[in-house]
Amino acid sequence: MTNMDILFDRVAAKGAVCLGLDTSPEYLPESLAARFPKPAGAVFEFNRNIIDATADAVACYKVQIAYYEAMGLDGMRVFAETLRYVKAAGVPVITDCKRGDIKASAEMYAKAHLGAGSDFESDFITLNPYMGLDTLEPYEPYLERGKGVFVLLRTSNPGWRDIQGLPLAVGGKVYSTVAVKIARLGEKYMGEKGFSSVGMVVGATDGGAIDADAAEMLRNALGGTFFLVPGYGAQGGAARDAAYYFKNGNGGAVNSSRAILTAYQSQPDGEERYAHYAREEVLRMAKDIGDNL
């Protein structure tokens, strides 16, 4: 089985929540932060407790590397420790690093984030194809071994229109042409569940009301593509928006980070029970998505 097959099975069994461990020190309970001399130590303790509380309820975790890079060497150690802790829990993990570079550099990124035994080894990483599809080639040896990638297609920020949404003289838009090219690459790496190890990132919001027709077009045209769907919750996307990207109740994972990590803040006992309220938000989100599929 490929990692994408495993993720498919997790969605079928647990629901479609991808919990983003985009953990900023400012998200932490003050009482937790006060126990550690450096923010990185508190972040790992927070992550560890969140994972313990939610590992049986999520499809996967996504760890955004920027939050850890910002804490320097201590943060990168916590990044590695968080990846190891998720893997020990038996849950698929995505490193969100949006790499996109020429061959030699891409080979090193691939080795760092997908190579067996690397401190930063993940099951999946996110990639940016807009520098050219040759930047994806160094990841193919890892796809052959069952690893997975999620390639940016149409993102959830308002500025996606600046490049991704530009109309083409031959018809369609930049992102729709990129979709065809990525899907063609992905055909070489189909798994047992009917989905490629080459997934795509599509937003549950496009900086405004989602274009339902465009979303349905993508899902229908890309039947073998598994979607990672950001934008739910704090970014304004709703379950009904994310649902357009699913196929027979699967084929997608919906990311939420801040809304889950800070769910405790609205509760009177949240400082002590932050992991409990993160779990409650995961369960609520999973039901919300499931009810709309």
Active-site residues, by number, are: 98
Which structure tokens are listed for 230? 């950001």
**Backbone phi, psi, residue 181, to 5°:** -65, -40
Q: How far apart are CA 27 and CA 148, in angstroms?
A: 29
Distance CA 100, CA 5 (A): 25
Mapped onto helix, strand or coil, the DSSP state of residue 291 is helix
DSSP designation for 118: -
Q: What distance in Å separates the CA atoms of residue 225 and residue 223, rounded to the nearest whole number?
A: 6
Paired with 154 in beta bridges are 202
* Residue 154 Cα to chain centre, angstroms: 14
Q: CA angle, 228 as apex, 23 and 217 as ends, to 5°?
A: 150
CA angle in degrees (0–180, nearest 5) for 107-85-45: 120
